[in-house]
Amino acid sequence: LLYNKPRAATVKATSELSAWRLDQTTFKNIIVIGVVQKRDRNYAFLKKCPLLKELCETEMLTLADSLKPQKLAKGDMIIKQGDVGQDFYLVEEGSVECIKDGEPVMSL
């Protein structure tokens, strides 16, 4: 449905069944609406981040499309002093404590 390609296989009922049917146009509209809503929500969040205020709109929208949500539990290590930076985190909700050389230096 997503790519408008011929079906890769035949599917045949092997018993009586009930199924839900969704046409291609409706499916695509639902997906597009979801993507646009996610982008708008992420973009609004990013616009509030002072660290990102110098980014142009295209960069902000690209970043908004790229964000991946991550849930963390209290006490989870987000980044560790001395580790090579692989990821960039923006805290949307909750709080963190920044620790340097074993001592708390900031809470956000």
What token pair was written down for 13?
Answer: 């009922």
Which residue is it, tokens 């291609």? 24
Report CA-CA distances (Å) from 19 to 2, 22, 29, 48. 20, 10, 21, 44
Instruction: Tell me the mean pLDDT in the region 69-88.
Output: 91
**Statement: residue 64 has pLDDT above 70:** yes
**Statement: residue 24 has pLDDT above 70:** yes
Instruction: Tell me the mean pLDDT in the region 13-17.
Output: 94
pTM over the 0.85 mark: no
Q: What are phi and psi of 98, to 5 degrees?
A: -95, 130
Cα separation, 91 vs 76, whole angstroms: 14
Cα separation, 77 vs 64, whole angstroms: 24
Q: What is the pLDDT of residue 32?
A: 87
**Statement: residue 1 has pLDDT above 80:** no
**Statement: residue 4 has pLDDT above 80:** no
State the average pLDDT for the chain. Answer: 90
